[in-house]
Structure 1
Amino acid sequence: ASASWVYQEDLALAAVLAAELQPAGEIFNVADNQPASLEQFISQFAAVLGYAGKPGRVSSFGESRMTGKNWRTLVGQSTQVSSGKAQEKLGWKLKAPSFREGIEQTLLAWRAADYQAEPSV
């Protein structure tokens, strides 16, 4: 099952544009252009972090203890959406058109925040 993903800054920009333009009665889906499975997302995230191994699997018993029935049902379904309406009516443009680019941008931001948090000597 695959799902649509969205980079945090892209989501925030869509929310700001919707708040500024206030299109009456409109509902917008916001997502990148490359749906991917949870496994693909986690594998890419691990690769960008430098993890060389293959992500492990959680047993169904373990999964049932960590998540609710609704989560397990959702993960097993395809949830792909189109953000064409947001692009057309809000003028919204993706900074990260794929989940891979979104992961890269997120990790760059995390690393920059960690670097800035380092005490100066």
Structure 2
Amino acid sequence: MIITDEFKKKLRKYLHEVIPPDGTDKDTNLSDEDIEELLTEADNIYSAAAQGWRLKATTAPMEVGQITKYSIGQETYEKSTASDYLSYCLEMAKMYEQMAEKNNNLSGSRIFKIKAPNVL
């Protein structure tokens, strides 16, 4: 796959790894080298996104503690667990893998061989 700035930006968007304004790739979980490696090894951008989500799943224990629910009355807080984040990453990987398969099926062509009938 040919790596362009447009593909790198799109892949970052698919992986929720957008570089913040006035920031660098160091402000995200995946460096530019990681993004380029994902694109280089993939057949299409959806395959790269699927692999990127699997890579993010390996960091699940480091992403725990995000607030998923907050209530003001009786002060209820609910934080995500490593299992929640892991499940989310793997679901995203599955979704992009299905998109990659669909994209691969659409881009190919089929050849049919037709045999003429025997006519007397």
TM-score by length of 1: 0.27
TM-score by length of 2: 0.27
Higher strand share: 2
